């Protein structure tokens, strides 16, 4: 019993003894959480508008980043590479809508989910064939130096990432709340048939949503790519976004951000202070346990829409 | 013309409720069992047995397990890999702790242990639904893999954390370890699979299966007509995990014969999920067809260009393979969203009328 | 219904698979040596697997073009994509093992997971397995593992060499110093743990261990602890794939000096230091062969393979660390065949004969010179009991453009390592009921 108590509360003493370090861990967790949110946002957008859990989001992050770096290596300046990569992602959205979503309209969510898995394999193969499987360096000029703010170490890169994510969320929120297209998107999300009957073109909306998700993927790809290098493993960061998504709710944009922050801080604090005694490397499952804990109280995610069921 | 039930009368309830009410099906089954048990081992090469048929059988068991949970009971699970790992490590512990214990019991026991673990991780399903439930099973996935990597007791303190199957025999034939022939392994695996498939089929068409399907189709309504959700869902988790556990044990002991926890990572869970969706949710046959699709297709795609001597670079072939695989998944879903099992069923309906379409 | 349906699925599978059952076109007694390549060009480790596979094949092409094969026996090869998956690796192995006039010459799995899965299979099929710098360290004990070859060095040797290097940098004593060990949480990363734990006790340095879950895209927690709290004198890393650039970036992010950071030789390639850019300057890694193109055999590859446009992959991979590692692996296989031919005659060698060749490999300076390997790798000599054959390790440092040597060849503590190999292999032999060979009786 003592051992258990010591395991649970021992690290608290450590936190008390080194408050600056604790603050550093929390800040580090918050900033990592923001990076998770960037990826989670793409999932939320598509789920919100079409009820599809888009397994291909990770592959889209990879393909966007690959194209961006690829165009850049071909000699295009950064801005042009950005424009070209954006165009490619929008083109991809068109193709996916036409080839995959339209023939599968009105199918169960799980079928569409499976279809996005097919899309994942295809995109992975196609873009790696196009740009090669090499590790590519991505440098958009974001400084990566550590700086100390009143004794707390933070990294400039992480700060920039947080700013980018904040801007992105603000823009998306504005887009959804206050533009014509945004309102149409929300209408489609609420009820496909009703939206269609008031004259909202479903297919156009889907193309727009997938394009926006592609743009978000490009931003996430650039941020993660400058950290890890652009290579296949970028597609795997999607796994880190899953608990964020579940915790925040599949349908909420602010949820993706708040969820990211909670998961980021939770897993970092657990890993740094509690993991050592039980062997380390607990981040992955801890994120899910944390999400599970929150779900026990709110089964639809922190900000998800309430599911009301009638017999 | 050949395949029809006209003239086959049932004179008892037992005959009416048989798994195969149609004579042609029974004959077909007998022939196919014969082919599987006698023909395949005689004809197939070592390569086909040990790298195509055995993994196909192992995956079929895992897919059966997941299909019971997801296809019949409607509970989405992404923890299959974790449960398979659980079965593999439990089997290793049983086999090394009790060397005299027959390997069949080792596998069944490891399935039992996995069933208990599955029940624990199934508890949140009472409150959480749909994609959100995936989190509970994902927690199982990551936690179990972490546990088996971290606790040296599970691997008998081997420093690398890799377990490898000790040699064991059934009826005097080695089925695991270095002396086991691929034929012995195949027959052993096949018997296991045939038995488990029979049990699964009978479970899902009985009272238990009906309760599962009622929960799947609408849990509130099911509760009102007197099905206990707690009991039913946990039973589904238990049975499903039992199958996954046995699959994991078969994987570690019969197929690769040495395994580290990473072999059962999240990608394995997704792979099994692909199988049941492609094969057909809520169909025993679908589990087999899906497993065949996912196991065979990459091998065929990989062997195809090499056999034809295509003048492409190897990395291009590897990428083309991925693309074709993805495109085929989408293609099959568009042709038949309810999976390959449904295609088969449609085929049979057509065959009944053939050659007179009306 | 199920069994019937299942059976039909099975039959379908058999029909589909039937064409593959046919044996490769009968090349009865063709004067060819078949060497398979289990490679991975896709998946998370594709960027690392690609240059290795290119170097591996280019070396064979060079031998064919320059010498007309090994003593007149032409090398044939086939690539099989494993995607670093153990199950696909096993499938590939079974597919290629019986091809060619004498079957697969040797297997180079390039994955610790696949290595473990193939240990028993290769022993049964009598095909030697070369795991250069990965896999099971105790596989060096040829008495228990006759079919496994770990030359030129194992993880155990490497860990000991790295610690020796740190010791020399720290003024000859490690007492009271701190070393952190970051590792990929798998068989690969756990392999050298016994060595560093033992050294920590013997040399008196304080060891902290940090497992990184696969794939390792997120390491902030670990690096905060290392860089801000423990502040070790040195960090040693066992990483592969995306884990490496991430670690270097995070080390820079917490301001941990990169010239106190040493990676395993799988964390010492251009692919690992390119993404972090300037942050990687000063980062060190172990190696067992040279980098760059300035060796005679590389010029031969350049002239006979690349110039005629026969190169397997992209030209910019040539001369990178992993490309050269592919080449050195290929060279070991070729030399084993050559050695076997000295005894069995200049014809295609079977797996058993190649095994003898591997076991009696003596790459002395003259032999290395004739291979064009001068300055590329140190001499090496294997025996029945010692399948590692030399095991010297060198440390290289990245200066932002290329790798430079910063140490001489370091000889690991053979006595301690041998003792550990034998303890490990004895346990394996006991589990598997293997009676170790008596090496005194081997010819």
Residue C12 clears pLDDT 60, i.e. is over it: no
The closest of A74, A84, A216 to A136, measured between CA atoms, is A74
Q: For residues B58 and B81, what is the distance between their CA atoms, to the nearest angstrom?
A: 13
The closest of C54, C67, C142 to C385, measured between CA atoms, is C142
Query: Which positions in chain A touch C215 (Cβ < 8 Å)?
Result: 233, 236
For residue B273, how far is the Cα from the chain centroid? 10
Question: Which residue carries 């488990």 as its tokens?
Answer: B196
Percent of chain C topping pLDDT 90:
62
| CA within 13 Å, CB half, B210 | 6
Q: What is the pLDDT of residue B263?
A: 87
Instruction: Average the pLDDT over C222-230 and give the result.
Output: 90
Whether residues A144 and C210 touch (CB distance < 8 A) is answered with: no
CB contact B224 to A (< 8 Å): yes
Instruction: Average the pLDDT over C64-76 and give the result.
Output: 93
Q: What is the pLDDT of residue C284?
A: 95
Beta carbons of B339 and B277 less than 8 angstroms apart? yes
Counted residue by residue, chain B has a size of: 358
Q: For residues C271 and A133, what is the distance between their CA atoms, to the nearest angstrom?
A: 11
The closest of C134, C126, C79 to C102, measured between CA atoms, is C126
Residue A143 clears pLDDT 50, i.e. is over it: yes
Instruction: Average the pLDDT over C42-60 and give the result.
Output: 91
Query: Which positions in chain C touch B28 (Cβ < 8 Å)?
Result: 4, 7-8
Q: What is the pLDDT of residue C56?
A: 95
In a domain, residue A17? The reply is yes
| Least Cα separation, residue C230 to chain A (angstroms) | 11
What secondary structure does DSSP assign to A288-299, as a single string?
A: HHHHHHHHHH-T
Handedness of CA C136, C140, C145, C149 (dihedral sign): positive
Beta carbons of A166 and A261 less than 8 angstroms apart? no
Fold of the domain built from segment(s) C156-287:
Rossmann fold (3.40.50)
Percent of chain B topping pLDDT 90:
44
Q: For residues C300 and C292, what is the distance between their CA atoms, to the nearest angstrom?
A: 14
Segment (H or E) for A154? strand A152-155
Query: Which positions in chain C touch B289 (Cβ < 8 Å)?
Result: 5, 9
Least confident of B39-53, C48-62, C370-384: B39-53
Residue with more model confidence, C433 or C274:
C274
CB contact C383 to B (< 8 Å): no
**What is the DSSP code (8-state) at residue B262?**
G
Whether residues C46 and A237 touch (CB distance < 8 A) is answered with: no
What's the token pair of residue C343?
A: 């005894």
Residue A94 clears pLDDT 80, i.e. is over it: yes
Q: What is the pLDDT of residue B357?
A: 64
Residue of chain B whose Cα is closest to the Cα of A310: B220
Q: For residues A297 and A292, what is the distance between their CA atoms, to the nearest angstrom?
A: 9
Residue B238 clears pLDDT 90, i.e. is over it: yes
Residue B334 clears pLDDT 60, i.e. is over it: yes
Q: Which domain holds residue A28?
A: 2-297
Show which subunits contact B, needing at least 3 CB pairs below 8 angstroms.
A, C
Q: In terms of DSSP bridges, do strands C148-149 and C129-130 run parallel, antiparallel, or are they unpaired? A: parallel
pLDDT in tens, C304-331: 999 998 888 888 889 999 999 999 999 9
Instruction: Average the pLDDT over C46-64 and give the result.
Output: 93
Residue B318 clears pLDDT 60, i.e. is over it: yes
Residues in a beta bridge with C286? C395
For residue B256, how far is the Cα from the chain centroid? 17
CB contact C197 to A (< 8 Å): no
SS3 B173: strand
What's the token pair of residue C259?
A: 């010239």
Domains C26-153+291-381+416-441 and C156-287 share a fold: yes
Residues 311-350 of C with CB under 8 A from A: 314, 317
| Least Cα separation, residue A269 to chain C (angstroms) | 8
What CATH code is assigned to C26-153+291-381+416-441? 3.40.50.2300
Residue B305 clears pLDDT 70, i.e. is over it: no
Mean of per-residue pLDDT scores for chain C: 88
Query: Which positions in chain A touch C211 (Cβ < 8 Å)?
Result: 279-281
pTM, two decimal places:
0.89
Q: For residues A25 and A38, what is the distance between their CA atoms, to the nearest angstrom?
A: 20
Whether residues C119 and B258 touch (CB distance < 8 A) is answered with: yes
Q: In terms of DSSP bridges, do strands C403-405 and A152-155 run parallel, antiparallel, or are they unpaired? A: unpaired
Mean of per-residue pLDDT scores for chain A: 87
Q: What is the pLDDT of residue C24?
A: 43
Whether residues A104 and B129 touch (CB distance < 8 A) is answered with: no
The CATH number for A131's domain is 1.10.3470
- Checking phi first, is residue C346 left (phi over 0); if not, alpha (psi -120 to 50) or beta? beta
Percent of chain A topping pLDDT 90:
29
Q: What is the pLDDT of residue B291?
A: 94
Q: In terms of DSSP bridges, do strands C234-238 and C178-184 run parallel, antiparallel, or are they unpaired? A: parallel
Give the model's confidence band at C381: pLDDT under 50 very low, under 70 low, under 90 confident, else very high: very high
Q: For residues C145 and A306, what is the distance between their CA atoms, to the nearest angstrom?
A: 61
Beta carbons of A299 and B132 less than 8 angstroms apart? yes
What's the token pair of residue A107?
A: 């199918």
Give the model's confidence band at C23: pLDDT under 50 very low, under 70 low, under 90 confident, else very high: very low
| CA within 13 Å, CB half, A159 | 13
Residue C254 clears pLDDT 80, i.e. is over it: yes
Residue C25 clears pLDDT 50, i.e. is over it: no
In a domain, residue A306? The reply is no
pLDDT in tens, B162-184: 888 888 888 888 888 777 888 99
What secondary structure does DSSP assign to B96-157, as a single string?
A: HH-TTS-HHHHHHHHHHHHHHHHHHHHGGGGT--HHHHHHHHHHHHHHHHHHHHH-GGGGTT
Q: Which three-class secondary structure string do you get for chain C?
A: CHHHHHHHHHHHHHHHHHHHHCCCCCCCCCCEEEEEEEECCCCCCHHHHHHHHHHHHHHHHHHHHHHCCECCEEEEEEEEECCCCHHHHHHHHHHHCCCCCCCCCCECCCCHHHHHHHHHHHHHHCCCEECCCCCCHHHHECCCCCCEECCCCCHHHHHHHHHHHHHHHCCCCCCCCEEEEEEECCHHHHCCHHHHHHHHHHHCCEEEEEEECCCCCCCHHHHHHHHHHHCCCEEEEECCCCHHHHHHHHHHHCCCCHHHEEECHHHCCHHHHCCCHHHHCCCEEEECCCCCCCCHHHHHHHHHHHCCCCCCCCHHHCCCHHHHHHHHHHHHHHHHHHHHHHHHCCCCCCHHHHHHHHHCCEECHHHHHHHCCCCCCCCEECCCCECCCCCCEEEEEECCCCEEECCCCECCCHHHHHHHHHHHHHHHHHHHCCCCCCHHHCC
Instruction: Average the pLDDT over C15-33 and give the result.
Output: 54
Query: Which positions in chain B touch A239 (Cβ < 8 Å)?
Result: 266
CB contact B322 to A (< 8 Å): yes
pLDDT in tens, B184-199: 999 999 999 999 999 9
Task: Please name the CATH architecture into which domain B45-353 falls.
Answer: Orthogonal Bundle (1.10)
Q: How many domains does chain A have?
A: 1
Handedness of CA C316, C321, C324, C325 (dihedral sign): negative
């Amino acid at each position: 019993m003592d051992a258990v108590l010591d395991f649970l509360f021992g690290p608290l003493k450590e936190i008390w003894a080194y408050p600056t370090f604790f603050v550093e861990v929390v800040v580090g967790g918050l900033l990592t959480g923001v990076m998770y949110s960037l990826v989670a946002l793409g999932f939320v957008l598509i789920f919100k508008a079409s009820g599809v859990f888009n397994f291909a989001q990770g592959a889209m992050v990879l393909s966007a980043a690959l194209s961006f770096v690829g165009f850049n290596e071909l000699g295009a300046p950064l801005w042009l590479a950005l424009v070209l990569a954006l165009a490619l992602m929008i083109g991809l959205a068109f193709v996916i809508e036409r080839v995959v979503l339209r023939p599968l309209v009105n199918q169960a969510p799980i079928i569409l989910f499976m279809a996005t898995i097919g899309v994942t394999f295809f995109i992975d193969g196609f873009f790696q064939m196009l740009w090669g499987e090499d590790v590519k360096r991505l440098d958009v000029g974001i400084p990566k130096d550590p700086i100390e703010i009143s004794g707390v170490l933070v990294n400039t890169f992480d700060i920039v990432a947080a700013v980018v994510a904040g801007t992105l969320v603000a823009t998306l929120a504005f887009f959804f709340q206050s533009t014509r297209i945004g309102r149409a998107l929300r209408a489609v999300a609420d009820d496909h048939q009703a939206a269609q009957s008031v004259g909202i073109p479903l297919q156009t909306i889907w193309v727009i949503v997938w394009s926006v998700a592609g743009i978000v993927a490009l931003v996430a790809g650039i941020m993660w790519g400058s950290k890890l290098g652009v290579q296949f493993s970028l597609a795997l960061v999607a796994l880190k976004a899953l608990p964020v998504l579940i915790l925040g709710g599949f349908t909420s944009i602010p949820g993706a951000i708040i969820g990211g922050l909670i998961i980021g801080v939770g897993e970092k604090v657990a890993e740094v202070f509690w993991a050592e005694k039980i062997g380390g490397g607990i981040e992955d499952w801890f994120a899910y346990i944390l999400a599970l804990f929150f779900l026990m109280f709110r089964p639809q995610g922190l900000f998800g829409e309430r599911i009301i069921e009638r017999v | 013309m050949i395949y029809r039930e006209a003239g086959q009368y049932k004179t008892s309830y037992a005959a009416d409720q048989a798994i195969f009410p149609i004579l042609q099906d029974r004959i077909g089954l007998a022939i196919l069992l014969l082919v599987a048990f006698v023909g395949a081992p005689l004809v197939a090469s070592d390569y086909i047995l040990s790298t195509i048929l055995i993994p196909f059988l192992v995956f079929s068991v895992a897919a059966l397990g997941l299909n019971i949970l997801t296809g019949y009971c409607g509970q989405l699970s992404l923890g299959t890999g974790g449960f398979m790992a659980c079965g593999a490590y439990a089997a290793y512990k049983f086999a090394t702790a009790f060397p005299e214990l027959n390997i069949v019991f080792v596998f069944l026991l490891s399935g039992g242990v996995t069933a208990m673990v599955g029940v624990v991780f199934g508890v949140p399903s009472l409150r959480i639904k749909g994609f959100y439930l995936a989190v509970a099973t994902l927690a199982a996935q990551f936690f179990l893999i972490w546990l088996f990597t971290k606790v040296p007791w599970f691997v008998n303190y081997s420093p690398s954390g890799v377990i490898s199957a000790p040699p064991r025999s059934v009826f005097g034939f080695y089925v695991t370890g270095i002396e086991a022939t691929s034929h012995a392994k195949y027959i052993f695996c096949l018997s296991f699979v045939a038995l488990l498939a029979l049990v699964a089929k009978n479970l899902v068409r009985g009272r238990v299966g009906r309760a599962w399907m009622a929960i799947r189709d609408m849990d509130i309504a099911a509760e009102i007509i007197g099905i206990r959700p707690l009991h039913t869902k946990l039973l589904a988790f238990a049975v499903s995990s039992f199958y996954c556990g046995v699959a994991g044990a078969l994987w570690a002991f019969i197929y690769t014969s040495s395994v580290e926890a990473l072999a059962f990572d999240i990608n394995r869970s997704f792979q099994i999920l692909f199988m049941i969706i492609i094969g057909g949710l809520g169909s025993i046959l679908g589990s087999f067809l899906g497993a065949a699709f996912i196991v065979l297709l990459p091998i065929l795609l990989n062997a195809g260009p090499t056999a034809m001597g295509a003048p492409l670079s190897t990395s291009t072939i590897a990428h083309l393979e991925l693309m074709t695989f993805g495109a085929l998944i989408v293609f099959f879903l568009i042709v038949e969203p309810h999976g390959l099992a449904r295609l088969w069923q449609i085929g049979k309906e057509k065959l009944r009328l053939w050659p007179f379409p009306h | 219904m199920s069994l019937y349906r299942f059976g039909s699925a099975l039959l379908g599978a058999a029909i589909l698979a039937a064409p593959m059952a046919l044996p490769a076109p009968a090349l009865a007694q063709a004067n060819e040596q078949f060497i398979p390549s289990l490679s991975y060009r896709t998946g998370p480790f594709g960027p690392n697997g690609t240059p290795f596979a290119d170097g591996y094949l280019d070396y064979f092409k060079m031998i064919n073009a320059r010498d007309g094969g090994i003593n007149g026996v032409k090398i044939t090869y086939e690539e099989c994509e494993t995607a670093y998956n153990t199950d696909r690796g096993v499938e590939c192995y079974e597919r290629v093992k019986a091809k060619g006039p004498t079957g697969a010459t040797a297997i180079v799995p390039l994955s610790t997971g696949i290595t473990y899965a193939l240990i028993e299979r290769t022993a049964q099929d009598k095909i030697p397995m070369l795991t250069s710098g990965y896999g099971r360290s105790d596989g060096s004990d040829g008495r228990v593992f006759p079919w496994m070859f770990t030359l030129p060095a194992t993880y155990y040797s490497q860990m000991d060499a790295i610690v020796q290097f740190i010791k020399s940098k720290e003024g000859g004593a490690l007492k009271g110093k701190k070393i952190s060990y970051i590792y990929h949480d798998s068989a690969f990363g756990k392999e050298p743990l016994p060595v560093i734990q033992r050294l920590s006790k013997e040399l008196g340095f304080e060891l902290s261990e940090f497992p990184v879950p696969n794939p390792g895209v997120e390491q902030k927690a670990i690096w905060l602890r290392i860089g801000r709290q423990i502040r070790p004198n040195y960090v040693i890393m066992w990483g592969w794939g995306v884990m490496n650039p991430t670690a270097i970036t995070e080390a820079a992010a917490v301001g941990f000096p990169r010239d106190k950071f040493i990676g395993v030789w799988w964390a010492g390639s251009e692919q690992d230091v390119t993404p972090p850019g300037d942050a990687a300057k000063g980062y060190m890694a172990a190696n067992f062969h040279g980098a760059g193109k300035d060796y005679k055999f590389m010029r031969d590859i350049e002239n006979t393979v690349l110039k005629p446009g026969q190169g397997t992959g992209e030209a910019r991979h040539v001369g990178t660390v992993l490309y050269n590692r592919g080449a050195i692996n290929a060279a070991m296989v070729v030399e084993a065949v050559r050695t076997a031919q000295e005894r069995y005659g200049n014809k295609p060698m079977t797996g058993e004969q190649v095994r003898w060749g591997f076991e009696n490999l003596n790459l002395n300076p003259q032999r290395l010179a004739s291979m064009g390997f001068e300055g590329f790798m140190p001499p090496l000599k294997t025996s029945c009991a010692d399948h590692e054959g030399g095991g010297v390790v060198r440390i290289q440092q990245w200066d932002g453009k290329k790798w430079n040597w910063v140490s001489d060849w370091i000889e690991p503590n053979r006595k301690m390592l041998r003792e550990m190999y034998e303890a490990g292999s004895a346990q394996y032999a006991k589990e598997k009921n293997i009676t170790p060979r008596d090496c005194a009786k081997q010819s």
